[in-house]
Structure 1
Amino acid sequence: MDRRAGLVPATREALRGLPVEVAPRLLGGLLRVTVDGGTVAVRITEVEAYHGQGTGPVPDPGSHARSGPTARNATMWGEPGHLYVYLSHGIHSCVNVVSGPEGVAGGILLRGGEVVEGVEAAASRRPASRSPRDLARGPGRLGDAVGLRHPRHDGIDAVTGEERAGAVARLLLPAAPLADVSTGPRVGVAGIAGTHAFPWRFWVTGDPTVSAFRWGRGAAEAAR
């Protein structure tokens, strides 16, 4: 079914490029997660690329891995295709697809998507959502909707689909890149890293599940 819909299973090789190069290729793809027998699939509509220390030609001051390996960001330094699941503001589990060669840190934050399978399961995890559009609109909501939680599921392999802590995740990519893609500054990232100097946010143009833009601390001033 997925192949007929123009989707193919993600491979390590497809995710081996730098995050800023791979990120737009995830748009229109699918993350399907089964947790404790309940399955939710999200069509990816918005992503952000993040590089680690020494990754690519431009240092990324907005990345969790900007200062090198730590216990928190260890998954970002591993092989591509694993999911880096981190806790935001002590509440929300956010999901990133690791990309880049093993040993070079990189992650692609899944910022927004449309729940296309398991709407009832996603809604039960997101009771505050006012409409189906809002179930995975924003990275915290997306993480909640698919059921991945930090630290239990950090490092889960979305290429092989190997079970981890009661969860199985699979990533599927479009067979061909989407044509209608927009790009701009990352959302809520502080300082220069949240300006047009880093147009590393990519989204499906006009899609209603894309989150609203907001400046990070000091980013508006840095952009002037």
Structure 2
Amino acid sequence: MTESLRSLPLDLAPATDPVPGDRALDVPARGWFARPSLEVARDLLGASVTHRSPEGSVTVRLTEVEAYDGERDPGSHAFRGRTERNRAMYGEPGHLYVYRHLGLHHCVNVVCGPLGQASAVLLRAGEVTDGVELARARRLAAGVCDSDRQIARGPARLAVALGLDLTHYGLDVTEEGGDVVVHRDARTMRPAIATGPRVGVSGDGGDASVYPWRLWLTGDPTVSAYRPATRRTR
């Protein structure tokens, strides 16, 4: 981990310039993702992910994310090097890295940083802003969903709501007409952001004094509850 990345002042950092274009809604180019994971994580808050499928489209506005810094980060899947499971992390930024957590649930990450660095941002939680009925039906089919704020409140729930799983591993999110796309509203002001320890990561990677790399929109009701880990589970 580089010192500059460790000490990035999230609350004081200037907003990233909007992606050029005539539309208010912009799909960042690949270069936007080719930055340190902590910077991308910060700028993904308030951005949206849309999945278009034969069932319909669902859009989630991201309210909580976690940054991971590849082989330099003891909390990262890439800490011990390249494997078949994490190969997407070593590829081009702007692609999805999807994995099964404990063999039960899917979690969705967006690859970022330079090619071969293996950094990524985990999409932890969000608000469903389009396709609410479809997202709710998916969640109800997978388990209990007692309110709309719970639909995508947590990484596994977010994956279910969007209809994403291992079949979407490696998809490019920088293509405007693609099945899965990340997009930002250039008119939206930067929201207030809070930071803290990553969820489910123990040991050095869970040390909040070094890795306060869970970021969320302050006061947003869709942000998931923090649960410390007794062992490394990511």
TM-score w.r.t. the length of structure 1 is 0.87
Aligned to 2:133: 120
- Partners of 2:68 and 2:118 lie apart in 1 by 9
Q: Deviations over 1:162-193 (max 9, x none)?
A: 75xxxx10101343662401111101111121
- Whether the 8 Å CA contact 1:112–1:209 is kept in 2: the answer is yes
Cα RMSD for the two superposed structures: 1.9
Which stretches of structure 1, 4 residues or more, deviate above 4 A after TM superposition? 3-6
Which whole-Å CA distance do the structure 2 matches of 1:162 and 1:88 have between them? Answer: 29
In structure 1, the gaps of 5 or more residues are: 54-58, 220-224
Once the two structures are TM-superposed, the CA of residue 204 in structure 1 deviates from its matched residue by: 0.4
Deviations 1:81-121 (A, max 9, x none): 11111111212111101100111111100000000011111
Tell me the number of residue pairs that the alignment of Structure 1 and Structure 2 aligns: 207
- For residues 48-87 of structure 1, the C-alpha deviation after alignment (integer angstroms, 9 at most, x for no partner) is 001111xxxxx21110011111100011111111111111
Stretches of structure 2 lacking an aligned partner (at least 5 in a row): 1-20
Offset from partner CA, 1:137-177 (integer Å, 9 cap, x none): 00000001000111x110011111575xxxx1010134366
- The answer on whether the counterparts of 1:158 and 1:169 sit within 8 Å (CA) in structure 2 is yes
2:187 is aligned with 1:187: no
SS in structure 1 at match of 2:168: coil
2:57 is aligned to: 39
Query: Alignment partner of 1:49: what SS?
Result: strand
Instruction: Say if 1:41 and 1:115, in contact at 8 Å, map to a contact too.
Output: yes
TM-score between the two structures when normalised by the length of structure 2: 0.83
Q: C-alpha distance in 2, partners of 1:155/1:182?
A: 29
Equivalent residue number for residue 170 of structure 2: 155
Do the aligned residues in 1 keep the contact of 2:41 with 2:66 (CA within 8 Å)?
yes
Answer yes or no: is the 8 Å Cα contact 1:26–1:174 preserved in 2.
Answer: no
Tell whether the 8 Å contact from 1:156 to 1:162 is kept in structure 2 after alignment: no
The Cα of 1:124 is off from its aligned counterpart by 1.2
Q: Could you tell me which of 98, 108, 117 is aligned with 1:104?
A: 117
